[in-house]
């Protein structure tokens, strides 16, 4: 009877294992909220920039330097942040990162002029630097290859959602309490997320009580077990840094980030000063290109995964989305720059940003595809180079505007995006490993 009882008990509990649990989608939501908070804290200064410039007497070039300070520090911290994720695991690193940058968000409200603002934004950039490489390593541990374009699209969709809603939230707070309370309020949101993450997240699916064997097998797939291992492994620094494919990946992302950083830096000021819109109108109209960006994030992720599932050709599925998208983004920048109507310009910028954001799904899936257990480090190298592009972009924009042209920066950006498309078409190989001499 005891044997039969045990057998019956085993059969009862074994039935659910034939259907996969779905804990990985909760993990995706948790990380996506972190992306949202990251960009809320990054984009809030674009809304407060004009008020801060007036209070502190900042020129356009000085404000461009403040915007760039974040990107310079963000670039410097990428590779160390990615390495820490590979070495210590995503949970410890993300907890530290989010807690620190939330503190620096609050400190931003205490600045007194250009130099203190520059320093705080620089340190804030260091604080945020490792977030996305660490999150990519976390998602590599939780998702199979055939879902990686989609999940990267979703997380970046949340980041663009942040840029879309931040003007509404920040303008409301600033109108009621002043610009400093924008930073205090946003810092609190980050602190609350860190507490939530600490309670519910696990580094690996097998450590989570809600994950069953079927979901675990699906996540692991046919990949090398080392990809899903949390054992501390030696990062092949020499191979990564001398791999031509690594630098093609990085250069392509440089071009993307150069174009996209406009929307979290100069875009509201452009609408206020060049298109002569009211602050309230900016709070509404500035969201249009960001909403289309969210659609582009999802569309690019779904399309690259769909192409991979149908063809089993990873290079084709990543390249066929990213390269045409960059070209489309470049094409729509030209009428955006030359249109006499503010509404026409915004519609063209919305179309450009839709295509630009389609790049993110394949671009962020590639480091997962080519880096094995060093995906955090490789993503850090890619994002570091992208952040260099981001640091140059607002400075070039500010300098050209100060010289009297609001249209020239768009033509420069279009040229950079075309260069990115050529790199994807001619050089970047999404199947060539950057951590080993042979294999994918």
pLDDT one-digit tens code per residue, 59-68: 878 887 888 7
Q: Which of 432, 417, 392 is nearest to 253 (CA)?
A: 417
pLDDT at 427: 94
State pLDDT tens for residues 116-143. 999 999 999 998 888 888 888 888 888 8
Query: Is residue 82 pLDDT above 50, yes or no?
Result: yes
Give 86's contacts (C-beta < 8 A, 6+ positions apart): 137, 233, 235, 373, 374, 375, 376, 377
- DSSP labels for 386-439? HHHHHHHHHHHHHHHHHTT-SSHHHHHHHHHHHHHHHHHHHT--TTS-SSSSS-
pTM exceeds 0.85 for this model: no
Structural domains in the chain plus CATH codes? 23-201+235-426 (1.20.1250.20)
Query: Is residue 3 pLDDT above 70, yes or no?
Result: no
Q: Which residue has the tokens 């501390």?
A: 232
Q: Looking at residue 109, what DSSP letter applies?
A: T
Contact 286, 268 (CB under 8 A): yes
CA distance to 147, 281, 328, per residue, from 425 (Å): 23, 40, 14
pLDDT-based confidence at 18, cuts 50/70/90? Answer: low
Query: Is residue 174 pLDDT above 70, yes or no?
Result: yes
pLDDT at 2: 43
Query: Is residue 226 pLDDT above 70, yes or no?
Result: no
Give 232's contacts (C-beta < 8 A, 6+ positions apart): 87
Q: Which residue has the tokens 């809600």?
A: 210
């Amino acid at each position: 009877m005891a044997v039969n009882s045990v057998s019956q008990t085993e059969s009862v509990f074994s039935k659910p294992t034939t259907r996969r649990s779905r804990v990985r989608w909760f993990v995706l939501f948790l990380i996506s909220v972190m992306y949202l908070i990251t960009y809320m804290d990054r984009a809030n200064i674009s809304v407060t920039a004009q008020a801060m410039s007036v209070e502190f007497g900042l020129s356009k070039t000085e404000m461009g330097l403040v915007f760039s300070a974040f990107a310079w520090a963000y670039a410097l911290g990428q590779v160390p942040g990615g390495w820490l994720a590979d070495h210590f695991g995503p949970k410890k690193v993300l907890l530290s990162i989010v807690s620190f940058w939330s503190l620096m968000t609050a400190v931003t409200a205490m600045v007194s002029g250009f130099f203190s603002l520059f320093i705080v934004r620089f340190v804030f950039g260091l604080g945020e630097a490792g977030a996305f490489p660490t999150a990519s390593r976390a998602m590599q541990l939780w998702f199979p290859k055939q879902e990686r374009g989609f999940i990267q699209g979703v997380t970046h969709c949340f980041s663009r959602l942040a840029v879309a809603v931040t003007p509404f939230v920040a303008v409301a707070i600033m109108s009621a309490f002043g610009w400093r309370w924008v930073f205090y309020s946003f810092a609190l949101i980050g602190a609350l997320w860190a507490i939530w993450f600490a309670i519910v997240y696990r580094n690996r699916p097998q450590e989570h009580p809600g994950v069953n064997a079927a979901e675990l097998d699906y996540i692991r797939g046919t990949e090398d077990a080392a990809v899903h291992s949390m054992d501390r492994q030696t990062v092949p620094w020499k191979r990564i840094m001398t791999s031509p494919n690594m630098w093609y990946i990085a250069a392509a992302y440089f071009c993307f980030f150069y174009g996209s950083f406009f929307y979290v830096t100069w875009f509201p000021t452009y609408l206020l000063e060049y298109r002569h819109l009211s602050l309230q109108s900016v709070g509404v109209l500035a969201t249009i290109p960001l909403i289309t960006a969210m659609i582009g994030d999802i569309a690019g992720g779904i399309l690259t995964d769909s192409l991979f599932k149908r063809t089993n050709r990873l290079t084709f599925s990543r390249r066929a989305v990213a390269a045409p998208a960059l070209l489309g983004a470049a094409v729509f920048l030209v009428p955006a720059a030359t249109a006499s109507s503010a509404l026409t310009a915004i519609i063209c910028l919305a179309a450009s940003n839709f295509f630009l954001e389609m790049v993110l799904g394949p671009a962020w899936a590639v480091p997962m595809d080519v880096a094995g257990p060093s995906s955090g480090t490789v993503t850090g190298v890619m994002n570091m180079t992208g952040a260099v592009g981001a640091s140059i972009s607002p400075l070039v924009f500010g300098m050209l505007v100060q010289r009297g042209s609001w249209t020239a920066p768009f033509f420069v950006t279009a040229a950079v995006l075309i260069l990115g498309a050529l790199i994807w078409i001619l050089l970047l190989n999404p199947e060539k490993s950057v951590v080993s001499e042979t294999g994918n």
